Structure 1
Amino acid sequence: MRARVESFEVGGLSVRLRTLAPAGRLHDTLAPTVVLVHGIGMSHRSFDRTQRHLARTHRTIAVDLPGFGGLPPAGRPLDLQELGDLVVEAVRSRGVGDLVLVGQSMGTQVVVEAARRHAETVTAVVLVGPVVDPARRTLLQQATDLGRDCLVEDPRMNLVVLTDYLRSLRQYVRQLRPMLRYRLEDTVPELPQPVLVVRGDRDPIGRRDWAAALAVAARRGVLVELPGGHHVQDRQPVAFARLVDEFRRVQTVEDLAAGGPSTGDTTTGPAR
């Protein structure tokens, strides 16, 4: 399975899309497309293993945001509303229909804004290791938690984090303030879509109380924990892909909470 990689500009900002799909479904508009949005400093590589598993049954698009993944920096901070619009415009320009948005870390802020502002297009939202916990909104606290997470992640993911951070440093510094100031807890309750919150059970950044509070705040929300750290989607790609697939298919989040994702490695609980 070979990815189709496209780099282009949206509103003067560079973006890259990496599309993987089952044979014959590269342009399929009959089912929702799963869109993967990375966190601050990262790139599509944080979703590489997950995307390959999801792409066995779904058309998938991993997004590299401006200034990340080796793309030219924007030269200014980008607010989350602008990034949410950019993601939807970029993927929709490739002829896709409905979207299931999956965001990790800062990517959770991006996909929530995309879902809020484009409710007619987004059918479901998945938040992996959401940020920023209001009890830990300072730069020092976030840096400390990031350091703790390095002790949890495997060496391969730590290498991905380090190399991605180094090549996105200029945009990374600019995006810190918008990320720290964004209040996910105020936006999630506005979403009409079902919301799945996923965290690693050893994640020091997306802590359990915070993740559970987001699931409760959603109109239709559920929390699922998988073994791992902040990049649990990389540590558990098979379980995570099955979870996203089941979430897309179930009629209500209560069905997911009652039945679980059938992986044997998860714990679930209804948000309401």
Structure 2
Amino acid sequence: MPPEPPVHPASAFTHDGATLIWEARGRGSTTFVLVHGIGMGRTVFTGLADLLVEHGRVIALDLPGFGDSPEPARTPTIERLADIVAAFVRAERIQDPILIGHSMGTQVIAEVAARHQDLHSRLVMIGPTVQIGQRRALVQLRKLAKDLADESPKVLITGAREYLRAGPNLRRKMRAMLVHRPEIIYPRISADTLVLRGEADTVSPRDWCEFVAAAIPRARLREVPGSGHETMIKNPEPAARLILEWLAEL
């Protein structure tokens, strides 16, 4: 049997007064950097990471104030989160990273690509947020509740645990997500981009994802049949397959 890919203990990285926690697995010239959504943490990517680690190094992040990362003195904007992620990529000397973001994480990696083009990133945007005209907290919470109505216990338990860990400032973090305008930066993204959504995703509806894919010059849209917004948690195999097929086509 081949040796198990190495697992590195979680480490901290601090930039501009905020700290993220990161954990790396595997080896190889290809590096996947996984960026979670609002209220989540790196553990939501466990299933997807298990599949991607066979194809390179996988690094999962806890953004500042999420997961195991300490709460920063002030709630970061999406732009500041992107700068922190970019600083981490540079500090670790990661060449041509494949940035995989889910939900709010898609906003973060979009800003990384637009603001830090020298990193030569490739992007996978799973369930991009937030649709124009729907940027109110109650609207988003209703959409998420509808999406989760038929989800598996695994998804519900994972999500509930991570939201509790997100701490008392979740409202301010959601506001930072909702005031961000990703459509302004999409045309500035030169990176190859895969927009990926679950077929039944009510948080990231198809017309919005079509808009996102059309706005980014080098983007493609793919759907995961029978999945909702948390597609990479419930059943990561189809998402991993589509990501790897897309990379093979580049």
Q: Same fold (TM over 0.5)?
A: yes
Q: Secondary structure at the match of 1:223?
A: strand
Q: Which residue of 1 aligns with 2:25?
A: 20
What do residues 7-58 of structure 1 show as CA deviations (whole Å, max 9, x unaligned)? 232222121111111xxx2xx4xx3311110001100111110011000111
Residues 96 and 122 of structure 2 are in contact (CA less than 8 Å); yes or no, is this contact kept in structure 1?
A: no
TM-score when scaled to structure 1?
A: 0.85
Amino acid at match of 1:229: G
Q: Which residue of 1 aligns with 2:63?
A: 65
Q: Secondary structure at the match of 2:84?
A: helix
Q: Which residue of 1 aligns with 2:77?
A: 79
Inter-partner Cα distance in structure 1 for 2:15 and 2:184:
28
Inter-partner Cα distance in structure 2 for 1:71 and 1:84:
16
Amino acid at match of 2:7: A
Which runs of 5 or more residues in structure 1 are unaligned? 252-272
Amino acid at match of 1:64: D
Match of 2:149 among 120, 138, 151: 151
Q: Which residue of 2 aligns with 1:269?
A: none
Q: Which residue of 2 aligns with 1:183?
A: 181
Inter-partner Cα distance in structure 1 for 2:241 and 2:171:
35
Q: Which residue of 2 aligns with 1:124?
A: 122
Q: Secondary structure at the match of 2:155?
A: helix
What do residues 213-258 of structure 1 show as CA deviations (whole Å, max 9, x unaligned)? 111111111111103111112233222122222222323xxxxxxx
Inter-partner Cα distance in structure 2 for 1:70 and 1:101:
20
TM-score when scaled to structure 2?
A: 0.92
What do residues 61-90 of structure 1 show as CA deviations (whole Å, max 9, x unaligned)? 111101100321113221111111111211
Q: Which residue of 1 aligns with 2:193?
A: 195
Inter-partner Cα distance in structure 2 for 1:179 and 1:151:
23
Q: Which residue of 1 aligns with 2:11?
A: 6
Inter-partner Cα distance in structure 2 for 1:124 and 1:247:
11
Amino acid at match of 1:237: P
Q: What is the root-mean-square deviation in Å for CA atoms of aligned residues? A: 1.5
Inter-partner Cα distance in structure 2 for 1:159 and 1:173:
21
Residues 68 and 171 of structure 1 are in contact (CA less than 8 Å); yes or no, is this contact kept in structure 2?
A: no
Inter-partner Cα distance in structure 2 for 1:152 and 1:17:
31
Inter-partner Cα distance in structure 1 for 2:87 and 2:124:
19
Residues 65 and 71 of structure 2 are in contact (CA less than 8 Å); yes or no, is this contact kept in structure 1?
A: yes
Match of 1:38 among 16, 36, 42: 36
Residues 130 and 211 of structure 1 are in contact (CA less than 8 Å); yes or no, is this contact kept in structure 2?
A: yes
Q: Secondary structure at the match of 1:7?
A: strand
Greater Cα offset, 155-164 or 229-238? 229-238
Inter-partner Cα distance in structure 2 for 1:122 and 1:149:
34
Residues 123 and 193 of structure 1 are in contact (CA less than 8 Å); yes or no, is this contact kept in structure 2?
A: yes
Identity value in percent: 34
Q: Secondary structure at the match of 2:168?
A: helix
Inter-partner Cα distance in structure 1 for 2:171 and 2:72:
12
Amino acid at match of 1:19: A
